């Protein structure tokens, strides 16, 4: 009998027996997460300016609830560095009276945050998070890391800052620097040693829990030497017990938040914006952490369900002395890397943490505050991920704009506003990208098919083909009709509009396209459309545009690429021919023009190999090899190179390509090589651009170039084929020496009356 999937264990899908192998793997993975997570949880509570014990509580209850209700097999929830920094910012900014208890405010904030997360999940808004770019996460995380480091310097130095906590980044640094002379050298020593152990031990052996061993070693030394005793006076170091003792009694976790029993609506209003920001940040953290591991494990995620789990975990946590947490990327990665198989691995990590509280609370109370601060300094620098930062920076100007904007807002503004700034920047960039439809010209090639070139004023032709694609919602179609009109020239009689790749087409888009059709009609220009798919067909029918254009001018999408556009192009030329006959008058005979000279148009071969000049030698080698393999008649042709607008930019012959491949090899070296050794040697040149090795001084020949001029060019130029271009500079074909010879024979026949050379 087939075993149900592991996700069914906790999802109500039959609940099969929990496999013994899974139990062992999950228990060990949970233990590994707890060993790393316990010191982190205590340290993260300090970021929020809360006693370290509350960080342990947050690593227990929310972690269990989120794991049981969520969809990810490996996501481990609990306190996170960025969320704790937001909580600290919010609590520092709240002024609700002299008797305000920071813990009660935190519990209310946690309840509000959980409610918002749960609402996102119930309304199935999980897909909304995909519109928040990675640049926002990287920028905010980096900024939060800088703020965490700045706020923990005082704890590493062992100096209290009188008058509360400075609100802004520069205020924190200035106030800390002002009190540097008061540094407690023992606290500084403990902080530096703890940070050093946390960094170096995992490098020696990645299985060593550097953070845990760091605080154990420095805590034991500080306790043995009595550095925590009040008798030391000003040199006494502060320990966890001095902040608030951790009690080894889990029953004390349960606590009814005072502001839920007797609501303070003014406080609720004051925290609502911050709760929304904290919820968005938490959902982003959870989604990105779960997605990162799911991409490696192959699991499919249900983000709406994940958001329900995160929301309920925060709601439950607010009744167990927990602050708002989220999915932790670090602990999630450790869970997966340690062999966790089901969501029970996260549950086990919470159970191991609870066992730690029960058994080791008396020892945890003697951990130096500066040791936890040293751990946080290390964490803060790891938040400024160099690889992710560099990758985002190199991803383009838009990513850099969002990254820098979010980072600057994080350092300057309150963190809840910084999150909104980052999200708005991300959405603004998205709207800018999608807020304009993509327009390109489709230029028919003489050998069949189309070339796609940038949209600008088209070359003079009775038929102009335009490719329109992208999002066509109301914001993207402003002035689209006038933008389309730019393609017209005095010769234009028909516009072919391909609309195969349109999305989000609505009534506004139909109104704009109808106006474009009206503008064309006023100018005596016909409109033919192609690539019409079923959804677009329905919208066009409902709006009446289909009837106005006329069924004979509409061509529907086909499986074959550009099939409907080729038909539309043929229809366009039939309209042009019909109008020409009307202008000449029915039955009027016009003698065909007599061309006394043979021109390139008479000798033209249209089937040439076109290639972009921006490509690499690797791509050119592959293309010419494939041409030899499948189209032997074209193997001797050079590659005719085009720029991005489709104009002839140069050529690259087969012989030149081979010479470039072996340019670095000396004749003696070649004679000593085996065939198998040639490939790796050639590959060294593959990444080079073909622009530098191409011939770019090609003669400019047109269809009207005479036979005499062609012969003259062939005599002067070292060319096997003579490229011929249209009026717009685009390659239309080439003339071969054999075609020139045929032209010469035809001219000789015409001169001799046909009897001399063909006898």
What does the pLDDT look like over 457-466, one tens digit per residue? 556 788 888 8
Q: Is 624 inside a domain boundary?
A: yes
Strands 731-735 and 722-725: antiparallel
Q: What is the mean pLDDT of residues 682-699?
A: 83
Least Cα distance to 189 among 371, 47, 381, 365 occurs for: 371
Same domain, yes or no: 610 and 577: no
Same domain, yes or no: 638 and 554: no
| pLDDT value for 196 | 93
| pLDDT value for 24 | 87
Count of CB atoms situated within 10 Å of the CB of 228: 22
Distance between CA atoms of residues 205 and 201, nearest Å: 6
Q: Is 593 inside a domain boundary?
A: no
User: Among 89-98, 144-153, 465-474, 648-657, which is the least confidently predicted range?
Assistant: 89-98
Distance between CA atoms of residues 374 and 488, nearest Å: 68
Q: What is the mean pLDDT of residues 194-206?
A: 89
Question: What is residue 184's DSSP assignment?
Answer: -
Same domain, yes or no: 77 and 154: yes
Give the DSSP H/E element, type plus range, for residue 182.
none
Please give the residue range of the domain that contains residue 573: 438-584
| pLDDT value for 4 | 46
| pLDDT value for 479 | 62
Distance between CA atoms of residues 725 and 646, nearest Å: 11
| pLDDT value for 507 | 72
Contact 308, 69 (CB under 8 A): yes
Domain end (from 373, 399, 425): 425
- Residue 591, pLDDT above cutoff 60: no
| pLDDT value for 17 | 65
| Domain total of the chain | 3
Q: Is 2 inside a domain boundary?
A: no
Domain end (from 584, 619, 636): 584
| pLDDT value for 565 | 85
Crossing angle of helices 265-297 and 329-337, in 10° steps, is 30
Distance between CA atoms of residues 485 and 457, nearest Å: 10
User: Among 39-43, 219-223, 565-569, which is the least confidently predicted range?
Assistant: 565-569
Q: Long-range contacts made by residues 748-756, C-beta under 8 angstroms, separation at least 24?
A: none
- Residue 268, pLDDT above cutoff 50: yes
2 versus 355: the higher-pLDDT residue is 355
Work out the percent of the chain whose per-residue pLDDT is above 70: 84
Give the domain CATH number at 674.
3.10.580.10
Q: Could you please report the per-residue DSSP string of 13-40?
A: S--PPPPHHHHHHHHHHHHHHHHHHHHH
Domain end (from 365, 391, 425): 425
Side-chain half-sphere CA neighbours of 51 within 13 A = 18
pTM for the full model? Answer: 0.67
- Residue 714, pLDDT above cutoff 50: yes
Tokens of 535: 């959804």
Residue-wise over 453-485: b if at least 16 C-beta within 10 A, else e? bebeebbebbbbbbbbbbbbbeebbeebbebbb
Q: Is 537 inside a domain boundary?
A: yes
Same domain, yes or no: 548 and 467: yes
* Strand order through the sheet with 701-702: 701-702, 722-725, 731-735
Sequence-distant (6+) residues with CB within 8 A of 5 are 13
Strands 463-471 and 438-444: antiparallel
What does the pLDDT look like over 58-94, one tens digit per residue? 999 999 999 999 989 999 999 998 889 889 888 876 6
Tokens of 39: 């010191």
What does the pLDDT look like over 456-510, one tens digit per residue? 755 678 888 888 877 665 554 566 766 777 777 788 888 888 888 776 676 777 8
Cα-trace Rg, the chain: 36
Contact 493, 462 (CB under 8 A): yes
> Most confidently modeled of 112-116, 291-295, 665-669?
112-116
402 versus 718: the higher-pLDDT residue is 402
Q: How many helices (H) and strands (E) does the chain have?
A: 31, 15
User: Among 29-33, 162-166, 535-539, which is the least confidently predicted range?
Assistant: 162-166
| pLDDT value for 472 | 66
Q: Could you please report the per-residue DSSP string of 427-467?
A: HHHHHHHHTS-EEEEEEE-TTSSEEEEE-SSPPS-SEEEEE
Same domain, yes or no: 265 and 302: yes
Same domain, yes or no: 547 and 522: yes
Same domain, yes or no: 269 and 296: yes
Give the DSSP H/E element, type plus range, for residue 645.
none
What does the pLDDT look like over 282-330, one tens digit per residue? 888 888 888 878 877 778 888 889 899 999 999 999 999 999 999 988 8
Coil, strand, or helix at residue 45? helix
| pLDDT value for 380 | 85
Same domain, yes or no: 482 and 413: no
| pLDDT value for 473 | 57
Q: Is 5 inside a domain boundary?
A: no
Distance between CA atoms of residues 172 and 590, nearest Å: 90
Give the pLDDT band of residue 188 (cuts 50, 70, 90).
very high
Same domain, yes or no: 365 and 449: no
Give the domain CATH number at 483.
3.30.750.24
- Residue 339, pLDDT above cutoff 80: yes
Distance between CA atoms of residues 355 and 658, nearest Å: 70
Least Cα distance to 322 among 257, 268, 368 occurs for: 257
Q: Is 614 inside a domain boundary?
A: yes
What does the pLDDT look like over 412-462, one tens digit per residue? 887 778 888 888 888 888 777 766 677 777 878 766 677 777 777 556 788
200 versus 662: the higher-pLDDT residue is 200
Tokens of 608: 């040439």
| pLDDT value for 486 | 74
Same domain, yes or no: 546 and 680: no
Q: Is 20 inside a domain boundary?
A: no
Q: Is 569 inside a domain boundary?
A: yes
Same domain, yes or no: 638 and 530: no
Strands 438-444 and 450-454: antiparallel
250 versus 668: the higher-pLDDT residue is 250
Distance between CA atoms of residues 740 and 600, nearest Å: 9
- Residue 539, pLDDT above cutoff 90: no
Same domain, yes or no: 574 and 612: no
Q: What is the mean pLDDT of residues 577-587?
A: 64
Q: Could you please report the per-residue DSSP string of 728-754?
A: TSBEEEEE-HHHHHHHHHHHHHHHHTT
| pLDDT value for 9 | 41
State residue 610 phi and psi, 5-degree precision: -100, 145
The 3-state secondary structure of 591-620, one letter per residue? CCCCCCCCEHHHHCECCCCEEECCCEHHHH
| pLDDT value for 75 | 92
| pLDDT value for 113 | 95
């Amino acid at each position: 009998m087939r075993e149900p999937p592991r996700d069914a264990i906790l999802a109500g899908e039959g609940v099969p027996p929990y496999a013994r192998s899974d139990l062992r793997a999950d228990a060990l993975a949970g233990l590994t997460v707890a060993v790393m997570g316990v010191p982190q949880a205590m340290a993260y509570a300090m970021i929020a300016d809360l006693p370290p014990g509350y960080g342990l509580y947050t690593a227990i209850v929310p972690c269990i609830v989120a794991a049981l209700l969520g969809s990810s097999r490996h996501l481990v929830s609990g306190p996170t560095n960025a969320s704790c920094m937001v909580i600290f910012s919010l609590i520092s900014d709240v002024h609700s009276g002299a008797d305000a208890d920071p813990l009660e405010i935190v519990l209310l904030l946690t309840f509000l945050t959980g409610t918002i997360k749960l609402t996102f999940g119930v309304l199935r808004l999980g897909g909304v998070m995909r519109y928040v770019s990675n640049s926002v996460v990287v920028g905010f995380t980096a900024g939060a890391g800088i703020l965490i480091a700045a706020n923990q310097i005082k704890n590493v130095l062992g100096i209290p800052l009188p008058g509360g906590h400075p609100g802004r980044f520069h205020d924190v640094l200035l106030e800390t620097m002002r009190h540097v002379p008061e540094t407690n050298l023992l606290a500084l020593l403990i902080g530096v040693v703890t940070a050093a152990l946390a960094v170096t031990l995992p490098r020696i052996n990645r299985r060593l829990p550097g953070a845990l061993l760091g605080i154990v070693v420095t805590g034991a030394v500080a306790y043995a030497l009595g550095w925590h005793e009040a008798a030391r006076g000003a040199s006494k170091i502060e320990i966890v017990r001095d902040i608030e003792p951790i009690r080894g009694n889990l029953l004390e976790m349960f606590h009814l938040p005072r502001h839920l029993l007797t609501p303070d609506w003014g406080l609720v209003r004051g925290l609502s914006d911050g709760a929304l920001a904290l919820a968005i940040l938490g959902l982003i953290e959870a989604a990105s952490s779960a997605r990162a591991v799911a991409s490696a494990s192959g699991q499919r995620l249900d983000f709406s369900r994940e958001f329900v789990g995160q929301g309920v975990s925060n709601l439950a946590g607010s009744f167990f002395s927990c602050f708002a947490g989220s999915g932790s990327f670090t602990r999630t990665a450790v869970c997966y890397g340690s062999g966790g198989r089901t969501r029970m691995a996260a549950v086990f990590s919470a159970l191991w943490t609870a066992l730690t509280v029960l058994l080791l609370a008396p020892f945890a109370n003697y951990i130096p505050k500066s040791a936890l601060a040293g751990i946080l300094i290390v964490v803060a620098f790891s938040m400024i991920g160099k690889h992710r930062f560099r990758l985002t920076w190199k991803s383009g100007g838009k990513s850099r704009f969002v990254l820098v904007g979010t980072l600057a807002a994080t350092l300057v503004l309150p963190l809840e506003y910084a999150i909104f700034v980052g999200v708005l920047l991300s959405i603004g960039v998205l709207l800018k990208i999608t807020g304009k439809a993509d327009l390109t010209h489709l230029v028919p090639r003489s050998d069949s098919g189309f070339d796609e070139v940038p949209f600008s004023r088209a070359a003079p032709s009775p038929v102009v083909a335009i490719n329109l694609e992208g999002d066509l919602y109301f914001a993207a179609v402003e002035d689209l009709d006038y933008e389309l009109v730019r393609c017209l020239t005095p010769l234009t009689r028909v516009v072919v509009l391909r609309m195969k790749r349109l999305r989000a087409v609505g009534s506004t888009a139909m109104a704009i396209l109808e106006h474009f059709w009206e503008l064309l009609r006023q100018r005596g220009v016909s409109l033919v459309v192609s690539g019409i798919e079923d959804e677009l067909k329905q919208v066009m029918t409902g709006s009446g545009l289909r009837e106005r254009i006329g069924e004979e001018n509409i061509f529907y999408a086909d499986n074959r690429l550009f099939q409907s556009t080729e038909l539309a192009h043929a229809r366009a030329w039939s309209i042009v021919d019909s109008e020409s006959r009307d202008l000449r008058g029915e039955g009027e005979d016009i003698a065909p023009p007599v061309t006394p000279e043979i021109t390139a148009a008479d000798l033209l071969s249209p089937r040439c190999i076109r290639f972009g000049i921006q490509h690499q030698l690797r791509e050119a080698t592959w293309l010419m090899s494939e041409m030899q393999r499948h189209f032997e008649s074209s193997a001797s042709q050079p590659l005719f190179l085009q720029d991005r607008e489709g104009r002839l930019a140069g050529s690259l012959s087969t012989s030149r390509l081979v010479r470039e491949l072996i340019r670095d090899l000396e004749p003696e070296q070649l004679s000593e090589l085996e065939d198998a050794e040639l490939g790796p040697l050639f590959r060294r040149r593959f990444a080079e651009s073909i622009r530098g090795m191409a011939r770019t001084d090609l003669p400019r020949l047109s269809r009207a170039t005479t036979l005499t001029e062609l012969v003259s060019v062939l005599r002067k130029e070292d060319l096997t084929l003579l490229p011929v271009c249209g009026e717009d500079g685009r390659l239309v074909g080439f003339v071969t020496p054999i075609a020139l010879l045929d032209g010469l024979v035809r001219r000789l026949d015409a001169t001799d009356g046909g009897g001399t050379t063909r006898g």
